[in-house]
Structures are given as structure tokens and as C-alpha cells.
């Protein structure tokens, strides 16, 4: 080649985004030609920002290293042979001392010491929930996030069913994505081969350029390879075996992740873990608050269930969602975004296959309204469809007995069943696929992290106030409904019979006669209440009985007056 050698250790901006997701060429043709003529040993692809594509060219004494970097990653300035490995790259990034925020953004630096799950909604001693504003502010008002769209992926459901465990795989995926390719050496080799294969010797510079850019773009969109194998132990959000509840309140991961949606726009992804419902120390109200609050904030709520989607799951879902709906201002739009039923330990694979296809069929069948359905069952189904814009279902295989039973299990992949790993991988990848990433919207408008911060504050205040009705257990609600129904029946009996003896069109009746007949009717009505079969026993009926007696007392005063008014002046 006649051209001069490419400059050593220089950062050359080869392309720049025009803001509309198109890359504009900046690269001098001479450089492209030189780079492509090298016997390329290694290429490293870094993903930090798509706004600027930078090519770093470094010629070493023992061979050439070409680093194509997306973003501003700078290689060392000495000419020593550098063994490029993950550690090395991350150290170099630090050595070049980017700004403080960039250090956090790069994520390569002591991530595990710096970030952790943060409890942002926590119960106080009187069982009210408070918001951890400083931590929330740190995350959502961080300058990398504040004006960007946001997607909150939350998981909720009964306690001890592997919610936090699975969320840690979401975290693993996102960390792997952030750190670039996990097994980047393999990826780099593949990249080099692809470039070699795709660029014919006769291609002109423009072709080179376009091909390289298209390959880089396709790499940027790929899920990080082997992300699932990145770490040995399952860690991040606290999880454990045993029967005692673990997660308390609402947790989020203290570090934002940045993905691209299908319009090519940046979207901040936040993971949310929630306290399991129905443990033995949480009131119905608190269960309802946790579920409602997380559903109101999430763009995707994963409803974690075990074995199947049972009618009681649907009832609780309806109940808690209704509580959330009450807390929102009335609007015609569906109040919540996406709901994904995640059925763990699915064991009817012969009927419905694992994954989304089987899940969708199961969900369709479960939510189908049959004309033979009792009205309460069909109204439950209609309500659920009206709460959520989108509903999906994923059927997950059992992870194997070591995962579910062994107290020593720390999360090693080779101790999990193969089917489980396969479907775990596909579930997580599906969730973060750019076509499935859902930004948080309220009334149809995208929220930024700044908006979301305001909504957090607003929503928690609603649940701290007195406006919402007190959520009750199904038993409490049923007992109260039984007692009210029996009381209404008793009042109707009383009203009918009293009207017969001294309604407006009836003649005057002597006072002692009226009192005697009234007492008979009152006793009959009270007996009807006492004899009605109702749930809850005396605890519920005593108050209602008192209310009934007051009702009869007041009515009697009214009828005494009406009766007196009918009396002729000479009587």
C-alpha cells in the first residue's frame, strides 16, 4: 500500500449520528483503506453511546490491534504489547480518568461495591409505607437519566415463589449488556471474520464504510452473548430458600441501565422487586398497597404464580388492581400498562408448551368468558381485561429439586434443569428485546425519569392518606356483605308490615294498639336477621343489630307522629 501508516494511538471519529439515527461518514478514505489492509489481530467493540462512532487505530511492534469503539474509549498511549482482556480494557478506561459520572456510567468499575438493591418504599412501625426520597432522587434525577424515557420492570405475587431469584437474571442480562459482550473475545473474532467475508477485494471505500457501519449496528442490537453464564452465583436482589419471607417493601436496583427502544431512542431501564403477598405478618391493606403501587409505576408488571393461573390468583389480581385503579384519577384509558403472568413450575407441558406460545393459549383459555360462567366469574374476567393494556403469559419449567429444596444452593447454572435454563434465557431476552421494551406512559404520554420521580411522590401520598377505602380480606368483605344483606331483608320485612298497619292511607289507630303491633313487627324483623345464615359470627352481627334497632326506633317515632296526625279533633 502506498498510503502512509495510520497514525498510532489516535482516536478518529469515523461517523456521527445525525440525531435521526443515521450515521454520517467522517472517516478519511485513506484511513479505511489502511485499516482494512492490516492483518487484524484483535478488534474490540465497546458500546457506550451510539451518537459517535470512533475508530481507534494502534500499530504495535508485534502486530496490529484495531479497536473499533463506539463512544469515547481511549486506549493507552504506550506502544507496549497490550494483552486485551476485559480487565485490561476496564482498567484503561479508568486510567484515562473520565469524569466522575462517566465512571459510574461505564459500569466497569467496582460495580458490585457501588450499586445494590435499594428499598425505596418501606413500612414503618405503624405499618404505613414511606418513600426513600433521597435514594430515588439520586437514581431518577441523575443527569444521565433525568430527561430520558423510562421503563420499569416489576415483579409481584405471593411470597416465596422465586421472584427475587429470577429478577437477578434480568440484572445479569443488563449488566452483561452494559459491559459489552460477555465473551467479547469470541465476538471480536466473529466480527473480524464477518468484515473479512463481507468486504470483497474490489470494494471501494464507500462500500467498506457502509459494510463496517452496518455490522457495528447489528452488533449493537444483539443481546449480549452468554450473558446467562456471566457469573457463578445468583446475586443482586436478596433471595433465599426456606419458608420465611425475604423481600420487604419495594426494592429497586440502584443503578439505571440504558437500552434502545425500537425507535432507536435511549430508554432507562429500572428493575423493581416487591414484597411477596400473603406472608403471615402483612395485612391485606399492605399487600394491596404494594401490589397497587408497583403496578401503577411499572410499565411491565410480572405477576409471578406457581403451578397454574388459579381462580384465586385472578381474584387477588382483580382486587389489588381495583385498589390501584381507585387511587388513579378517573380516565377512559386502561389504568395499567403490561401484565405478564409468569407461571413457575409449569407441569402440563403436554397440554401447553413452555414459553410464551403455551402461555398465551393458557391465558386465553383462562380469561375466556363462557356463556355458562357465573356472572361473578365473567365480570372478573372483563375487569382484568379493562385494567391492563396488554396481557401475556409465560410458562416456566420447574428448575429442579436442587434449586427448590437445597439450602446450600447458591445459583450455579449447572445445578439447574436444562429446560429451565433455556426458558429462563428466552424469557429474559424477550423482555428486553427492543420490540417488547415498553416505556412508562401515563394517559398515553411517555414519562421521563423526572416525571416518574414526581409520580412516585404523588402515588405514595395517596396511599398514606385517608381517601381510599380500607382494603379488607375476602372473609371480612364477605361477612360484612352477608350481614348487610340480612339487615336489608329485615328492614324490608319491617317496612312492608308497618305500612300495612299504619301507612298514610290507613285509619288512625289507638296508641297502645299501635305500640303492640309495632313491637310484634319489630321482633319478627329482628328474628329474621338473627336467623339468616351469615358469616363472621357475633363480631360482625352485633354492630348491625344495634343499627337495626336504631332504625326501628326512628321509624316508630315517625309512625307515631303520622298516626297522631290522623286523629280526629273530637277523638
Ligand X SMILES: Nc1nc2c(ncn2[C@@H]2O[C@H](COP(=O)(O)OP(=O)(O)OP(=O)(O)O)[C@@H](O)[C@H]2O)c(=O)[nH]1
Q: Which CB sits closer to ligand X, 169 or 388? A: 169
CA 45 to chain centre: 31
Taking CB within 5 to 8 Å according to partner kind, which of ligand X, Mg ion, none is near residue 89? Answer: none
Q: What is the number of alpha carbons within 13 Å of residue 290 lying toward its C-beta?
A: 32
Q: Which CB sits closer to ligand X, 105 or 167? A: 167
Q: Which CB sits closer to Mg ion, 179 or 246? A: 246
**Does 123 sit near ligand X (CB under 6 A)?**
no
Q: Give the integer Cα–Cα distance in Å for 571 and 568.
A: 5
Taking CB within 5 to 8 Å according to partner kind, which of ligand X, Mg ion, none is near residue 240? Answer: ligand X
Q: Which CB sits closer to ligand X, 237 or 258? A: 237
**Does 344 sit near ligand X (CB under 6 A)?**
yes
What cell was used for 126?
405503624
Site string for ligand X, 136-165 (x = CB under 6 A): -----------------------xxxxxxx
Taking CB within 5 to 8 Å according to partner kind, which of Mg ion, ligand X, none is near residue 162? Answer: ligand X
**Does 386 sit near ligand X (CB under 6 A)?**
no
Site string for ligand X, 64-103 (x = CB under 6 A): ----------------------------------------
CB of 70 to ligand X, least distance (A): 35
CA 357 to chain centre: 21
* Residues binding ligand X: number (CB under 6 A): 22
- Asked whether 475 and 535 are in contact (CB, 8 A), the reply is yes
- Asked whether 299 and 441 are in contact (CB, 8 A), the reply is yes
**Does 164 sit near Mg ion (CB under 5 A)?**
yes
**Does 427 sit near ligand X (CB under 6 A)?**
no
Task: Annotate 511-563 with three-state secondary structure.
Answer: HHHHHHHHHHHHHHHHHHHHHCCCCCHHHHHHHHHHHHHHHHHHHHHHHHHHH
Interactions with ligand X, residue window 263-282 (CB under 6 A): 276
Question: Sheet harboring 63-70: ordered strands across?
Answer: 23-25, 10-17, 52-60, 63-70, 40-47
Taking CB within 5 to 8 Å according to partner kind, which of ligand X, Mg ion, none is near residue 129? Answer: none
Q: Give the integer Cα–Cα distance in Å for 349 and 229.
A: 26
DSSP states of 185-254: HHHHHHHHHHHHHHS-TT--HHHHHHHHHHHHHHHHHSPPTTGGGS-SS--SS----SSS----SEEEES
CB of 237 to Mg ion, least distance (A): 7
Taking CB within 5 to 8 Å according to partner kind, which of ligand X, Mg ion, none is near residue 392? Answer: none
Interactions with Mg ion, residue window 225-264 (CB under 5 A): 246-247
CA 509 to chain centre: 69
Q: Give me the residue label for grid cell 494511538.
A: 9
CB of 5 to ligand X, least distance (A): 56
Taking CB within 5 to 8 Å according to partner kind, which of ligand X, Mg ion, none is near residue 42? Answer: none
CB of 93 to Mg ion, least distance (A): 34
Interactions with ligand X, residue window 225-264 (CB under 6 A): 239-241, 245-247
Q: For residue 277, what is the DSSP state?
A: B
**Alpha helices of 13-154 — where are they, by DSSP H?**
29-37, 86-95, 100-106, 111-114, 133-140
Residue nearest ligand X, CB atom distance: 276
∠ CA 163-266-335, rounded to 5°: 55
Q: Give the integer Cα–Cα distance in Å for 138 and 142.
A: 6
Q: Which CB sits closer to ligand X, 48 or 247? A: 247
Q: What H or E segment, with its residue span, contains residue 478?
A: helix 474-502
Q: Which CB sits closer to ligand X, 246 or 313? A: 246
Site string for ligand X, 397-426 (x = CB under 6 A): -xx---xx----x-----------------
Taking CB within 5 to 8 Å according to partner kind, which of ligand X, Mg ion, none is near residue 23? Answer: none
Q: For residue 571, what is the DSSP state?
A: -
What cell was used for 23?
450515521
* Residues binding Mg ion: number (CB under 5 A): 4
CB of 399 to ligand X, least distance (A): 5
Residues that bind ligand X (CB under 6 A): 159-165, 239-241, 245-247, 276, 344-345, 396, 398-399, 403-404, 409
Residues that bind Mg ion (CB under 5 A): 163-164, 246-247
Amino acid at each position: 500500500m502506498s498510503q502512509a501508516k495510520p497514525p498510532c494511538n489516535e482516536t478518529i471519529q469515523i461517523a456521527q449520528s445525525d440525531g435521526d439515527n443515521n450515521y454520517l461518514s467522517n472517516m478519511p478514505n485513506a484511513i479505511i483503506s489502511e485499516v482494512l489492509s492490516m492483518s487484524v489481530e484483535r478488534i474490540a467493540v465497546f458500546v457506550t453511546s451510539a451518537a459517535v462512532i470512533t475508530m481507534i487505530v494502534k500499530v504495535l511492534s508485534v502486530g496490529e490491534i484495531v479497536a473499533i469503539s463506539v463512544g469515547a474509549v481511549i486506549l493507552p498511549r504506550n506502544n507496549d504489547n497490550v494483552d486485551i482482556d476485559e480487565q485490561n480494557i476496564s482498567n484503561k478506561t479508568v486510567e484515562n480518568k473520565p469524569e466522575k459520572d462517566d465512571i459510574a456510567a461505564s459500569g466497569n468499575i467496582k460495580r458490585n461495591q457501588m450499586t445494590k438493591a435499594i428499598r425505596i418504599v418501606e413500612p414503618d412501625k405503624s405499618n404505613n409505607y414511606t418513600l426513600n426520597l433521597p435514594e430515588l432522587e439520586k437514581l431518577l434525577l441523575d443527569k444521565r437519566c433525568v430527561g430520558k424515557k423510562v421503563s420499569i420492570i416489576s415483579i409481584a405475587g405471593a411470597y416465596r415463589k422465586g421472584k427475587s431469584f429470577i429478577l437477578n437474571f434480568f440484572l445479569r442480562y443488563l449488566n452483561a449488556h452494559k459491559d459489552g459482550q460477555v465473551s467479547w473475545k469470541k465476538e471480536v473474532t466473529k466480527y473480524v471474520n464477518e468484515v473479512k467475508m463481507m468486504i470483497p477485494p474490489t470494494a471501494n471505500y464507500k462500500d467498506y464504510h457502509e459494510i463496517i457501519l452496518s455490522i457495528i449496528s447489528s452488533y449493537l442490537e444483539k443481546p449480549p452473548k452468554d450473558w446467562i453464564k456471566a457469573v457463578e452465583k445468583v446475586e443482586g436482589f436478596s433471595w433465599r430458600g426456606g419458608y420465611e419471607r425475604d423481600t420487604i417493601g419495594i426494592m429497586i436496583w440502584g443503578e439505571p441501565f440504558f437500552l434502545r427502544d425500537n425507535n432507536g431512542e435511549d430508554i432507562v431501564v429500572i428493575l423493581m422487586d416487591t414484597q411477596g403477598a400473603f406472608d403471615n405478618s402483612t395485612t391485606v391493606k399492605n399487600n394491596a398497597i404494594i401490589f397497587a403501587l408497583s403496578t401503577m409505576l411499572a410499565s411491565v408488571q410480572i405477576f409471578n404464580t406457581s403451578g397454574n393461573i388459579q381462580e384465586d390468583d385472578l381474584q387477588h389480581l382483580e382486587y389489588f388492581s381495583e385498589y390501584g385503579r381507585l387511587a388513579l384519577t378517573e380516565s377512559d384509558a386502561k389504568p395499567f400498562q403490561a401484565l405478564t403472568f409468569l407461571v413457575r413450575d409449569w407441569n402440563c407441558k403436554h397440554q401447553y408448551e413452555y414459553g410464551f406460545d403455551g402461555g398465551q393459549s393458557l391465558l386465553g383459555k383462562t380469561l375466556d368468558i363462557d356463556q355458562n360462567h357465573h356472572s361473578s366469574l365473567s365480570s372478573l374476567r372483563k375487569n382484568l381485561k379493562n385494567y391492563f393494556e396488554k396481557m401475556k403469559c409465560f410458562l416456566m419449567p420447574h428448575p429442579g429439586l436442587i434449586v427448590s429444596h437445597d439450602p446450600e444452593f447458591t445459583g450455579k447454572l449447572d445445578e439447574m434443569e436444562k429446560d429451565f435454563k433455556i426458558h429462563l434465557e428466552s424469557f429474559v431476552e424477550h423482555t428486553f428485546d427492543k420490540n417488547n421494551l415498553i416505556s412508562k406512559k401515563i394517559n398515553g404520554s411517555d414519562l421521563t425519569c423526572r416525571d416518574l420521580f414526581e409520580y412516585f411522590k404523588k402515588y405514595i401520598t395517596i396511599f398514606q392518606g385517608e381517601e381510599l377505602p380500607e382494603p379488607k380480606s375476602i372473609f371480612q368483605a364477605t361477612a360484612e356483605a352477608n350481614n348487610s344483606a340480612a339487615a336489608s331483608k329485615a328492614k324490608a320485612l319491617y317496612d312492608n308490615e308497618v305500612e300495612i298497619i299504619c301507612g298514610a292511607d290507613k285509619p288512625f289507630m289507638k296508641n297502645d294498639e299501635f305500640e303492640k303491633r309495632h313491637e310484634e313487627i319489630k321482633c319478627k324483623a329482628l328474628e329474621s336477621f338473627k336467623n339468616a345464615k351469615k358469616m363472621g359470627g357475633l363480631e360482625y352481627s352485633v354492630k348491625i343489630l344495634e343499627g337495626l334497632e336504631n332504625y326501628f326506633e326512628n321509624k316508630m317515632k315517625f309512625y307515631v307522629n303520622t298516626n297522631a296526625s290522623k286523629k280526629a279533633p273530637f277523638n
